[in-house]
Structure 1
Amino acid sequence: MRRRLIQSTLAVVLVVIAVFGVSLVIVETRTISNSAQERVDSEAIRLAGIVDSRLFAAEDVTGEILRDQVAQERYAVIRIPGKDPIEVGSRLSGQVISSTQRGEEGETVTVQEPRSSVTREVGRTLLIIGLVALLAVIAAVLLAIRQANKLASPLTDLAETAERLGSGDPRPRHKRYGVPELDRVADVLDSSAERIARMLTAERRLAADASHQLRTPLTALSMRLEEITLTDDPDTVKEEANVALTQVERLTDVVERLLTNSRDPRAGNAVTFDLDEVIQQQLAEWRPAYRSAGRAIVSSGKRHLTAVGTPGAVAQVLAALIENSLMHGGGTVALRTRVTGNQAVIEVTDEGPGVPADLGARIFERTISGRNSTGIGLAVARDLAEADGGRLEMLQAQPPVFGLFLSRTPLKSALLDEDEPTVR
């Protein structure tokens, strides 16, 4: 593209120079020739006037007297009736410019000038025109290169941006070029890059959340299946199989919840449920793991509490907190329930060293972990809690106390109560 732009610009400039340059050369040549002829004519008229005045005064007319009246490069001949011709200057050879004038006393004056002077002047004029044309060509080439770079470089950048998008690098360049059409294309590519980046981030987040959230139910399910393989008691096998089926249902609920959140994180199926059932379910699932680690998990606090939320999501939040206590905490893990205002609170605490001071409130950020874990468990747990209108907070760092706050009143009912006018 650069080459075509330069070639087209140079061709236009050469055509313009050829048309106007040839015309200018013809006009200047004629002007110089006419000017030279006018000079010779003027010289002949002036010399004839001098001769007339001397003849009228009866003075002598000689070559010595007229020598100073004729330019050095010119040649003049004065013919007076009855006298010999008077020559001033050297006789010229070759082409000349000549002018003959007749005086009032009957004399004729002829002045000649070599045409080479005209040729030299025409040559100088042609040289100037040629230099101007050369400068015009150089300027045109430089301007064409600049314009070609200004147009071609952005297209190259946009092609590279499109190629990067196709190769999976969605970083926008935010580069503009001062050309409205190209800037519009750059805006569209940057907008597409940002959309692709958000989509890739959402997909990576979904994959990370899925791997983390599915790990716990699969681990619990595998433990139940191991219990089945290690026992011969039909009643134990039946009991463990029923628990395994319950865990499969929870696993299905986790998958559906992840897919729902990937489409719309705010979409929830909040219902009123019994907190005791969810807590007892978690205790039953995690006791084997804690027993294997030589630790205990217990529950205390207010019983028969109801809360508004998604039971599966609440179970996942509690599972994340219990798993964190198993991995990073120590001693006995306690789940305590209480009521504050219109909210039911489930606190999860252990006897371990707690959250390091350098982490603090950043403990809920993704990729933040006190040890070699994924660092997304608490972040996912907080997202799940907020999706149902609740919240997850760290109430105390040492020993660690995490609190899950859930509303005890359905959101729609609360809104209706607020909107309903008071009758007095």
Structure 2
Amino acid sequence: MVRVALTAALVAVVLLAVPLALAIRSSLYADQRDTLERAALSGAVRVSPDYTTGDPVELPAPPSGGHLGLYDTQLRLRAGSGPRTGDAAVRQALGARVVRSHSGDDLTVTVPVSHAEQVIGVVRASSPTAAVRNRVLAVWAVLAGACALALTVAVLVARRQARVLAAPLEDLSRHSRAVTAGDLSARAAPSSIAEIDQVARTHNEMLHSLTELLRHERDFTANASHQLRTPLTGLQLTLEAGLAQDDEARLRPALEEALATTRRLHGTVEEVLRLSRSPGLPRTPAPSEPVARLLGETEEHWHGLFAHDGRRLLCTTGEAPDDARVPGAPVAEILGILLDNARVHGRGTVRLTVRDLGDALAFDVADEGGIETTRPFERGHTGDGEGEGIGLALARDLAVSLGGRLSLTGRRPTTFTVLVPVRQDETGGETGDAGG
């Protein structure tokens, strides 16, 4: 940046200073010749025609450091100062014309003196060339100083501008190194330069997309691990119990229960995969299922688990219409997470109730315990310090994917409410919005 600015300034200075220096030199020399010519003319008007007969001539003072003399037609010095014999310039002036010339180390101007249309003498004015040369050099020195000052200012401005341009690029470089080191929260700050801002915005957008992609991958792994652990344990226990049976008639229920668990595992995997897709990608709507059948299957699956812990599970459709339908698999997964949360962290009787809100269905899951945490849906955070803090976060994400909402509506007793929007399907029945 500094090199480019200095080169541009140097070219501009050269293109301006060289012609200006030549113009100054020519102007100073021309000005000195004009001064000599005025002095010669002033002397010529004072010359009387009778000077040839001995009448004295009073010439004005010569130019500073120079000479002013009157020469007759024989090239002899008659008055003033100068060479004793007239030079070529004096000889040329006898031809009735003003002559400007450079004679040796002097600048010379000769003016003819006329009387009765005859040249009767020549006034010669001269000054040393060195005096003009010294003035030219002095002015050139000032010009060179001005050029040096201009170049210095150009360098300083270029360095400052370079720092202004380099600062956001260095900041972007630091953020890139931070990202390379693993800090995906680093973001490039905006600057006052539009082009660099565009690069920074693109960098931040790319980093945001990368962060979201990694978050989806991480959440998928955590969700799958969390949701599959309990069913897999149950499946293992069921198969072990079935293998311990010698009676084939008693083996069949165990295998049927294992098959049902396998189907639930398949549904869990499908829901976690569907949720892990990027927001911009299309999601296949989950098949709808009547609310009554969904609650029946949920009660059938969870009743034994609560009974094993000495607790009760009550499921009621409440005000829900008989033909109400909701996306079966995702809603079942959300209810399963809430019931498992109530079984592990709650106490007493657990109630699952469905309410009709017109354009939505509300599923309430309540137990007789209490909840203290202020961040129940924060991933990795649990109120009692037990568990991994994944279930409720996953349930909330599943509800959002349906266009609904999961919220904590009561602390004592603990109550979670899932809102699932409903819409009219093509046959006129109400269907949960399974789009997401």
What is the TM-score of this pair, normalised by structure 2? Answer: 0.71
Residue 281 (structure 1) aligned with residue 281 (structure 2): no
- Asked whether the equivalents of residues 52 and 104 of structure 1 are also in contact (C-alpha less than 8 Å), the reply is no
Which amino acid in the other structure matches residue 334 of structure 1?
V
- Pick which of 39-48 and 336-345 moved more: 336-345
Question: Compared with structure 1, are the counterparts of its residues 117 and 56 closer, same or farther at alpha carbon in structure 2 (3 Å cutoff)?
Answer: same
* Matches of 1:393 and 1:19, distance apart in 2: 76
* Matches of 1:71 and 1:258, distance apart in 2: 105
Residue 327 (structure 1) aligned with residue 344 (structure 2): yes
**Partner of residue 267 from structure 1, selected from 267, 277, 285:** 285
Which amino acid in the other structure matches residue 33 of structure 1?
Y
1:254 to partner: Cα distance: 0.5
Which amino acid in the other structure matches residue 309 of structure 1?
V
Which amino acid in the other structure matches residue 268 of structure 1?
A
**Partner of residue 131 from structure 1, selected from 132, 139, 145:** 145
Classify the secondary structure of the residue corresponding to 1:103. strand
Residue 258 (structure 1) aligned with residue 272 (structure 2): yes
* Matches of 1:306 and 1:188, distance apart in 2: 50
* Matches of 1:412 and 1:146, distance apart in 2: 67
Classify the secondary structure of the residue corresponding to 2:18. helix
1:206 to partner: Cα distance: 2.5
- Asked whether the equivalents of residues 267 and 387 of structure 1 are also in contact (C-alpha less than 8 Å), the reply is no
1:27 to partner: Cα distance: 3.0
- Asked whether the equivalents of residues 395 and 402 of structure 1 are also in contact (C-alpha less than 8 Å), the reply is yes
**Partner of residue 119 from structure 1, selected from 125, 133, 136:** 133
What's the CA shift string for 1:247-286, capped at 9, x where partnerless? 1221111101211233356832112252223202112245
Give unpaired runs (5+ residues) of structure 2: 85-102, 432-436
What's the CA shift string for 1:100-121, capped at 9, x where partnerless? 4443574543333222211111
- Provide the aligned length of Structure 1 versus Structure 2: 396
Whichever structure has more helix as a proportion of its residues is 1
**Partner of residue 355 from structure 1, selected from 371, 375, 386:** 371
Question: Compared with structure 1, are the counterparts of its residues 190 and 415 closer, same or farther at alpha carbon in structure 2 (3 Å cutoff)?
Answer: farther
- Asked whether the equivalents of residues 347 and 404 of structure 1 are also in contact (C-alpha less than 8 Å), the reply is yes
- Asked whether the equivalents of residues 75 and 90 of structure 1 are also in contact (C-alpha less than 8 Å), the reply is no
Residue 49 (structure 1) aligned with residue 45 (structure 2): yes
1:297 to partner: Cα distance: 3.4
Counterpart in the other structure of 2:383: 370
- Pick which of 116-125 and 131-140 moved more: 131-140
* Matches of 1:310 and 1:244, distance apart in 2: 24
Which amino acid in the other structure matches residue 268 of structure 2?
V
What is the TM-score of this pair, normalised by structure 1? Answer: 0.73
What's the CA shift string for 1:211-234, capped at 9, x where partnerless? 2222321232344355457x5554
1:123 to partner: Cα distance: 0.9
* Matches of 1:377 and 1:21, distance apart in 2: 79
Counterpart in the other structure of 1:421: none
**Partner of residue 37 from structure 1, selected from 24, 33, 43:** 33
What's the CA shift string for 1:334-353, capped at 9, x where partnerless? 3455766778876544343x
What's the CA shift string for 1:106-163, capped at 9, x where partnerless? 4543333222211111111211221232233234434544555566666666666667
- Pick which of 194-203 and 379-388 moved more: 379-388
Residue 24 (structure 1) aligned with residue 20 (structure 2): yes
Counterpart in the other structure of 1:99: 109
* Matches of 1:301 and 1:255, distance apart in 2: 28
- Asked whether the equivalents of residues 271 and 410 of structure 1 are also in contact (C-alpha less than 8 Å), the reply is no
Give unpaired runs (5+ residues) of structure 1: 419-424
Classify the secondary structure of the residue corresponding to 1:97. strand
Which amino acid in the other structure matches residue 34 of structure 1?
A
Counterpart in the other structure of 1:299: 314
* Matches of 2:237 and 2:245, distance apart in 1: 16
Question: Compared with structure 1, are the counterparts of its residues 266 and 57 closer, same or farther at alpha carbon in structure 2 (3 Å cutoff)?
Answer: farther
Question: Compared with structure 1, are the counterparts of its residues 374 and 76 closer, same or farther at alpha carbon in structure 2 (3 Å cutoff)?
Answer: same
Residue 75 (structure 1) aligned with residue 92 (structure 2): no
Counterpart in the other structure of 1:14: 10
Question: Compared with structure 1, are the counterparts of its residues 54 and 189 closer, same or farther at alpha carbon in structure 2 (3 Å cutoff)?
Answer: farther
Which amino acid in the other structure matches residue 105 of structure 2?
Q
Percent identical among aligned pairs is 26
* Matches of 1:108 and 1:151, distance apart in 2: 70
